[in-house]
Structure 1
Amino acid sequence: MTGTDHPTEPPEPAKPSEPAEPSRDPEARGVRLVPVLLLLTAISGLIDAVTYLGLGHVFTANMTGNVVVLGFAAAGAPGFSVPHTTTSLVCFLVGAVVGGRTSRRPEAGSRRSWTRMTLAAEAVLVGISAAVAFAAPDHAPVTVYSVIALTAFAMGLRNATVRKLGVADLTTTVLTMTLTGLASDSRAGGGAGTHSPRRTASVIAMVVGATLGAWLVLRHGIAVPLLVGAVVVAVLALTASGRE
């Protein structure tokens, strides 16, 4: 070994590789959108039971039925009201306009954030309608018009958001095309039937919500089912994710 030679240092032992940190997607935090939208479908059935059975044959979630009801009322059929139905249609459309503009604003943020924001607004609106119904008789004009306006606006707001989310077969308020798809795309209709579970669940959710709403209205009036709807939507507002 010469004077300029240096002893070779042994190589450092290889460090064990650290486990990769799992990816954290804020959109995926919370309850997935499919069960959220199924629960909202049930709430639609509940709210339409409240307004149709408790407020004189008017819908505030199902606008297809409402347009038909408006025709009945315009023709003078007993039990239907042009002012009630018109109020529902106008407030629903205003809610849809607000929902559409909100979802398109840059500050709306992620799908998760504006979905939760919309559901929080719906919970507040339905909660206020419940408070009005507790404070005044069910058939008082202030109760009728307040509940119709507030719930119709909330449903318009929600429908604009659901449309923007674009989750297949889950509109939360209308089942005509869901039933059509369920039948025409089934194996009996020559299709693969791949979306049958989701479509079937949507129909069942609507029936369950309408049944519960009707049962509560017939036994407790309109305030209790509205309060139930507000609480359920408030829970969804706190837990919904942005992923299907």
Structure 2
Amino acid sequence: MPGRRGPRTAEYIALVLLAAASGAVDALAFTVLGHVFAGVMTGNLALLGIALASGRPADLTAPLVALAGFVAGTWLSALICRGVASDARPGWPTRVLFCLAGETGLLAAHASLWAGSGGVPGGGLRVVLLCVAAVAMGGQSVAMLAAGAGGRPSTYFTGTLATYVARNAGAAVGAEDRWVPVRLAALVAGAAAAAVLHHWAPAWAALPAPVLVLAAVLGATYRPPEAPERNG
């Protein structure tokens, strides 16, 4: 039975790009689509509790929509990735890449609807955009679980941060752990980019997310050329 392997450099870069996409999606979800997150359900459950305690039924809509969309995305992605096994070739399994390609399509549709609203969605469109974003993040979360040893969380980072600090407390940082701060920085950068775009060019604010996920898919499929065999 083959040993577990960690991500290759190309996959680490893809994980960084996925983290940036998550940051961009969550930034817009929180600031524009209802003050909830598209990919961080712990926060949404807390917000749901606050809404229940406030006695304002209208405050329940956004967290419930985000939760429902995320669950739908995880369910669909789990169906696609059920029983997935690593391919003979290195890299993420084909069905994982298929899920991420589907996420790219969802986020592209999300960006198109967003642009059509001029970056100021309201009413029912805001609910639709929040749901689509949550479905995409749910699908990405399960895809990374199905990627096995080559995957890492890319939509929620509380456990990642805690593990990183605990594992490296008073010890030298391992080669694999050097990518953790990069992924965390990418999350912040993705959120900042979306926020800056929404301020200066609101219609384009949702565009970085699908571009980043597409770049991650293309990067994860990269295979370095094999060295020619030497005779003699």
| TM-score greater than 0.5 by the shorter chain | yes
Rate the CA distance shift 1:169–1:237 in 2: closer, same or farther, 3 A.
closer
The CA deviation at 1:202 is 1.6
Distance 1:58 1:219 in 2: 22
The CA deviation at 1:63 is 1.4
Q: Which runs of 5+ in 1 are unaligned?
A: 1-29
Map 1:1-244; keep pairs closer than 5 Å.
32-76=10-54, 81-104=59-82, 110=87, 111-136=92-117, 138-167=120-149, 170-186=152-168, 189-194=169-174, 195-221=176-202, 223-241=203-221
Residue correspondences, number: 209
Secondary structure of the equivalent of 1:81? helix
The CA deviation at 1:229 is 1.2
Of residues 133-142 and 148-157 in structure 1, the stretch that sits farther from structure 2 once superposed is: 133-142
The CA deviation at 1:177 is 1.5
The CA deviation at 1:118 is 1.2
Paired AA for residue 23 in structure 2: G
Of residues 230-239 and 60-69 in structure 1, the stretch that sits farther from structure 2 once superposed is: 230-239
- CA shift digits 1:158-205 (9 cap, x unpaired): 11110111347830111111221222122xx24443243121112111
Conserved 8 A contact 1:170-1:199? no
Paired AA for residue 17 in structure 2: L
Instruction: Tell me the C-alpha RMSD between the 2 structures.
Output: 2.6
Conserved 8 A contact 2:145-2:151? no
The CA deviation at 1:236 is 2.9
Conserved 8 A contact 1:31-1:240? no
- CA shift digits 1:123-171 (9 cap, x unpaired): 1111111111222362422321111111111111111110111347830
Conserved 8 A contact 1:46-1:211? yes
Paired AA for residue 157 in structure 1: G
Distance 1:144 1:167 in 2: 37
Distance 1:229 1:155 in 2: 11
Runs of 4+ in 1 over 6 A off after TM superposition: none
Secondary structure of the equivalent of 2:106? helix
Which of these two proteins has the greater Rg computed from alpha carbons? 1
Q: Which runs of 5+ in 2 are unaligned?
A: 1-7, 224-232
The CA deviation at 1:242 is 8.5
The CA deviation at 1:83 is 0.8
* TM-score of the superposed pair, with normalisation by structure 1: 0.76
Distance 2:55 2:161 in 1: 29
Secondary structure of the equivalent of 1:71? helix
Conserved 8 A contact 1:112-1:242? no
Conserved 8 A contact 1:216-1:225? yes
- CA shift digits 1:44-103 (9 cap, x unpaired): 00110011011120110111222122222222299x831111011011011101111101
Structure 2 partner of 1:7: none
Distance 1:158 1:218 in 2: 27
Distance 2:222 2:93 in 1: 4
